[in-house]
Copies of this chain bind each other. A is one copy, B any other.
Amino acid sequence: MTADEAVAPPPTGLRERKKQRTRSALVRSALDLFTGQGYDHTTVDEIAESVDVSQRTFFRYFANKEQVAFATQDSAESHFFAALCARPAHEAPLAALRGAVLDAWSTMGDSVEQLVPAELHMRMYRVIESTPALLAVHLRRTAELEERIASEIARREGLDVSVDPRPRLLTAMFGGVIQIAGKLWGAGDDESTDALRDITAFHLDHVGPALAENWRTEQ
């Protein structure tokens, strides 16, 4: 009711800020440890101890050990989805998807950097790809995201996902391309974001030919 509200209006109290700092510290420490010594060889006690909180507190911030590993992925996914929704309505589905990823890859820093260094996020991505337990969770999360994407595509085109299979099919194919691109990038030498961008664009451009029946005559 006083002028204080004008000085610090939307933010929060000391309590909220403390919680945010604790959470952020847990993510940073966890990703440091995961990328440094591997996911499996890092215990929750280690993470908690490095931030000086109890193990129990860790589990009040993250439902399980996996969840903290995907904290920055959450940001990146939201960022991508927002980019998709912002695409002009006249774009064809595949063009909108293509534009959204390439755009999201480029501006990744904006969504992740405020939590941890973007470079750490990229390193963590590689850990996820190479850790079976995390890869499995990653694929499930991807499947859930694809469901949302399919719905958005259907909305754009004025279709119903439950009657028209095309939104889901296109999304599934698109998801496959992203997965392949990410895998190749993770296995390759060039760790830059641009390399990931190029690989993705390259594969998206080959989606049509991949379905053509006569591969051999083209060779």
Contact = CB atoms under 8 A, between A and B. Distances in A.
Interface of A: 92-95, 132, 135-137, 139-140, 143, 157-159, 165-166, 168-173, 175-177, 179-180, 202-203, 206-211, 213-216, 219
A206 B167 CA distance: 11
B165 A169 contact: no
A180 B169 contact: yes
A215 to B, nearest CB: 5
Contacts of A135: 140, 143
A121 B97 CA distance: 37
Contacts of A139: 136, 139-140, 143
A203 B93 CA distance: 18
Q: Which of A166, A171, A206, A216 has the most CB of B within 10 A?
A: A166
Contacts of A171: 176
Contact of A211 (B143, B165, B211): B211
Nearest to A181: B165
Nearest to A132: B140
A73 B7 CA distance: 61
